[in-house]
Amino acid sequence: MDCRKHKQQTVFQDASWRFLPDAGKKAESLLAVRQAVAQKHIQKRPAFLEQIFCQMRFHTWQHWATQGAILLCVFLLVLWTGRKGADHTVSLSVCSVFIVFAGNICLSSIVQLFSWHMAELEMTLYFDLKQVVCIRMLEAGLFDLFLLGFLSGCLESRLETGIFVCLLYLLVPFLWSEIFCLHMLAHARSMASSFRQLSCVLVSALCALFPVFWRDAYLPAYRLVWVHLSVAGCVLLILEICWIFYHMKTGDRLCRILS
């Protein structure tokens, strides 16, 4: 065995057994390899997180300015509600109206995808409309959650009702305004988009002001009604989103709108 191994080693070490590389053929082969590499389509499959950052990269400065303005308004609102002698019902209602406005403004980045005939084109891209809508909804949802959490946290100390109760009072108008806005987006496409959204916001804001006119609304006795409204709102919002995604998948309704 050792003898055979030794024999093999000597054969490989013997220079006379080696073929000197043909420089011309080597260059030819390398050129062929380079050409094959150049022709090869290198496919990139970006991760979901990368796609989120990519979407954020293409938001307009107006979008970021609006988000900044909303945050500034939240801080001003918190300062205003924290002043001495502030009426709790009015504070909660004003915060509700604010969250309705903020929610609808955040939703406008999704509405934009369905404007200017972009939906049809976006449906044919590698990252299609469904994925982009998902990302925009996630972005808007996270921002809204932050606003809801922050406002509830700040109001809780003043109202002495607990953070979840505050969250409930803010969540109900927010949820129903989002449902209304998405419903109008899906069903009232013939209406001018700016008019549609403005009317959604105004109607929702008026509804959110309801407790100012009926002050008993925030009494513990009616808390169960608020819970029911929030649960129903959650279910309806999910259904509305599913409905939009279903029609994006089949394309029928979207194309009828586009035609």
Cα(11)–Cα(5) distance, integer angstroms: 10
List, in sequence order, the alpha helices (H) in 188-222: 193-208, 210-213
Q: CB of 130: closest distance to other proteins in angstroms?
A: 11
Could you tell me how many residues of this chain bind other proteins (CB under 8 A)? 34
Asked if residues 133 and 113 have their Cβ atoms less than 8 Å apart, the reply is yes
Interface map 77-116 toward other proteins (x if CB under 8 A): -----------------------------------x---x
Task: Decide: is 65 part of the binding site for other proteins (CB under 8 A).
Answer: no
Interface map 9-38 toward other proteins (x if CB under 8 A): ------------------------------
Q: CB of 199: closest distance to other proteins in angstroms?
A: 22
Task: Decide: is 40 part of the binding site for other proteins (CB under 8 A).
Answer: no
Helices then strands, counting H and E runs in the chain, come out as 12, 0
* Token pair in block for residue 248: 């994006």
Cα(15)–Cα(6) distance, integer angstroms: 16
* Token pair in block for residue 45: 């499959």
Asked if residues 52 and 126 have their Cβ atoms less than 8 Å apart, the reply is no
The residue within the footprint of other proteins, chosen from 30, 72, 121, 235 (CB under 8 A), is 121
The residue within the footprint of other proteins, chosen from 106, 119, 159, 200 (CB under 8 A), is 119
Q: CB of 60: closest distance to other proteins in angstroms?
A: 6
Angle 129-159/61-81 helices, nearest 10 degrees? 20
Q: Rule CB under 8 A: which residues touch other proteins? A: 41, 43-46, 54, 57-58, 60, 62, 112, 116-128, 132, 249-252, 254-256, 258-259
